[in-house]
Amino acid sequence: METRQALLGYSLIYAPMLLLVPLFLFVPFYEYESDDMSVTYAMLWELAANGFAIGTVSILFMGVLAVLLGIGVFRPGTPAVPSGIAVICGILFLLLALKIDAGEYAEYSVAGYAGMILGLAGVICGAANEIHGVVRRMANARRGG
Protein backbone atom coordinates (compact mmCIF):
# COMPACT_ATOMS: atom_id res chain seq x y z
CA MET A 1 0.00 0.00 0.00
CA GLU A 2 2.86 2.35 0.79
CA THR A 3 4.29 1.85 -2.70
CA ARG A 4 0.96 2.70 -4.35
CA GLN A 5 0.69 5.93 -2.38
CA ALA A 6 4.26 6.89 -3.25
CA LEU A 7 3.50 6.37 -6.94
CA LEU A 8 0.20 8.27 -6.82
CA GLY A 9 1.87 11.47 -8.09
CA TYR A 10 2.50 9.90 -11.47
CA SER A 11 -1.23 9.56 -12.03
CA LEU A 12 -1.41 13.35 -11.88
CA ILE A 13 0.98 13.44 -14.85
CA TYR A 14 -0.79 10.67 -16.75
CA ALA A 15 -4.26 12.29 -16.44
CA PRO A 16 -3.58 15.24 -18.80
CA MET A 17 -1.81 12.88 -21.19
CA LEU A 18 -4.91 10.66 -21.17
CA LEU A 19 -7.06 13.66 -22.10
CA LEU A 20 -4.73 14.61 -24.96
CA VAL A 21 -4.65 11.19 -26.66
CA PRO A 22 -8.17 11.38 -28.16
CA LEU A 23 -7.49 14.98 -29.20
CA PHE A 24 -4.42 13.90 -31.17
CA LEU A 25 -6.58 11.54 -33.23
CA PHE A 26 -8.37 14.52 -34.76
CA VAL A 27 -5.59 17.03 -35.39
CA PRO A 28 -3.20 17.01 -38.35
CA PHE A 29 0.41 16.07 -37.64
CA TYR A 30 1.71 16.93 -41.10
CA GLU A 31 1.11 19.72 -43.56
CA TYR A 32 1.80 19.64 -47.28
CA GLU A 33 2.38 22.58 -49.57
CA SER A 34 1.27 22.10 -53.14
CA ASP A 35 2.45 23.85 -56.30
CA ASP A 36 -0.20 26.55 -56.03
CA MET A 37 1.06 27.41 -52.51
CA SER A 38 -2.03 26.02 -50.80
CA VAL A 39 -1.48 24.07 -47.61
CA THR A 40 -3.29 20.82 -46.92
CA TYR A 41 -3.24 18.94 -43.66
CA ALA A 42 -3.22 15.21 -43.01
CA MET A 43 -4.85 13.71 -39.96
CA LEU A 44 -4.24 10.13 -38.88
CA TRP A 45 -7.73 9.13 -40.05
CA GLU A 46 -7.01 10.53 -43.52
CA LEU A 47 -3.69 8.71 -43.72
CA ALA A 48 -5.38 5.45 -42.68
CA ALA A 49 -8.26 5.95 -45.14
CA ASN A 50 -5.81 6.55 -47.98
CA GLY A 51 -4.05 3.26 -47.33
CA PHE A 52 -1.01 4.53 -45.45
CA ALA A 53 0.15 2.09 -42.81
CA ILE A 54 1.38 4.87 -40.53
CA GLY A 55 -2.18 6.05 -39.91
CA THR A 56 -3.53 2.65 -39.01
CA VAL A 57 -0.59 1.71 -36.81
CA SER A 58 -0.62 5.07 -35.04
CA ILE A 59 -4.34 4.82 -34.30
CA LEU A 60 -3.84 1.33 -32.84
CA PHE A 61 -0.89 2.46 -30.71
CA MET A 62 -2.83 5.50 -29.49
CA GLY A 63 -5.66 3.20 -28.42
CA VAL A 64 -3.23 1.01 -26.48
CA LEU A 65 -1.65 4.14 -24.98
CA ALA A 66 -5.08 5.40 -23.86
CA VAL A 67 -5.77 2.09 -22.09
CA LEU A 68 -2.37 2.08 -20.38
CA LEU A 69 -2.72 5.72 -19.32
CA GLY A 70 -6.19 4.96 -17.96
CA ILE A 71 -4.76 2.13 -15.87
CA GLY A 72 -1.94 4.43 -14.77
CA VAL A 73 -4.42 7.11 -13.69
CA PHE A 74 -7.02 4.96 -11.95
CA ARG A 75 -4.76 2.17 -10.60
CA PRO A 76 -1.45 3.83 -9.71
CA GLY A 77 1.33 1.50 -8.65
CA THR A 78 0.35 -1.26 -11.07
CA PRO A 79 3.59 -2.99 -12.13
CA ALA A 80 4.65 -2.97 -15.80
CA VAL A 81 2.13 -0.31 -16.87
CA PRO A 82 4.68 2.55 -16.73
CA SER A 83 7.14 0.63 -18.88
CA GLY A 84 4.34 -0.07 -21.38
CA ILE A 85 3.55 3.66 -21.46
CA ALA A 86 7.23 4.46 -22.04
CA VAL A 87 7.54 1.91 -24.87
CA ILE A 88 4.34 2.96 -26.67
CA CYS A 89 5.22 6.67 -26.35
CA GLY A 90 8.70 5.91 -27.67
CA ILE A 91 7.27 4.07 -30.68
CA LEU A 92 4.84 6.91 -31.42
CA PHE A 93 7.68 9.43 -31.10
CA LEU A 94 9.78 7.45 -33.57
CA LEU A 95 6.88 7.14 -36.02
CA LEU A 96 6.47 10.91 -35.95
CA ALA A 97 10.18 11.71 -36.05
CA LEU A 98 10.92 9.40 -38.99
CA LYS A 99 7.89 10.64 -41.01
CA ILE A 100 7.14 7.12 -42.22
CA ASP A 101 4.66 7.19 -45.16
CA ALA A 102 4.29 10.97 -44.81
CA GLY A 103 6.35 11.85 -47.86
CA GLU A 104 9.48 13.87 -48.31
CA TYR A 105 7.62 17.17 -48.65
CA ALA A 106 5.69 16.79 -45.42
CA GLU A 107 6.36 19.34 -42.72
CA TYR A 108 5.27 19.08 -39.12
CA SER A 109 2.27 21.08 -38.06
CA VAL A 110 1.98 22.51 -34.56
CA ALA A 111 0.23 19.31 -33.50
CA GLY A 112 3.11 17.29 -34.94
CA TYR A 113 5.59 19.08 -32.70
CA ALA A 114 3.22 18.78 -29.73
CA GLY A 115 2.88 15.05 -30.40
CA MET A 116 6.63 14.64 -30.40
CA ILE A 117 6.87 16.51 -27.07
CA LEU A 118 4.09 14.34 -25.62
CA GLY A 119 5.91 11.22 -26.82
CA LEU A 120 9.15 12.27 -25.16
CA ALA A 121 7.32 13.24 -21.97
CA GLY A 122 5.64 9.83 -21.91
CA VAL A 123 8.98 8.06 -22.31
CA ILE A 124 10.58 10.09 -19.52
CA CYS A 125 7.62 9.84 -17.11
CA GLY A 126 7.01 6.16 -17.80
CA ALA A 127 10.67 5.25 -17.31
CA ALA A 128 10.92 7.33 -14.13
CA ASN A 129 7.72 5.79 -12.78
CA GLU A 130 8.92 2.26 -13.49
CA ILE A 131 12.33 2.87 -11.91
CA HIS A 132 10.70 4.48 -8.87
CA GLY A 133 8.29 1.55 -8.52
CA VAL A 134 11.05 -1.06 -8.76
CA VAL A 135 13.17 0.75 -6.16
CA ARG A 136 10.18 1.07 -3.80
CA ARG A 137 9.26 -2.62 -4.19
CA MET A 138 12.87 -3.67 -3.54
CA ALA A 139 13.00 -1.48 -0.45
CA ASN A 140 9.73 -2.95 0.83
CA ALA A 141 10.97 -6.50 0.18
CA ARG A 142 14.21 -5.79 2.01
CA ARG A 143 12.28 -4.50 5.05
CA GLY A 144 10.08 -7.58 4.96
CA GLY A 145 6.86 -5.76 4.25
Strand partners, 108: 30
Return the pLDDT at 91.
94
Predicted local confidence at residue 123, as pLDDT = 96
pLDDT at 144: 77
3-state secondary structure of 35: coil
How many degrees, rounded to 5, is the angle at CA 17 between CA 14 and CA 20?
A: 155
Domain housing 48 = 2-143
Structural domain count, the chain: 1
Residue 103: CATH number of its domain: 1.20.140
* The pLDDT value given to residue 62: 93
pLDDT of residue 118: 92
Mean pLDDT by 10 residues, the chain (145 residues): 70 91 87 70 77 83 94 85 95 87 77 92 93 86 79
Reported for 38-46, long-range contacts at CB under 8 A and 24+ positions apart, including other chains, are 41/109, 42/102, 42/106
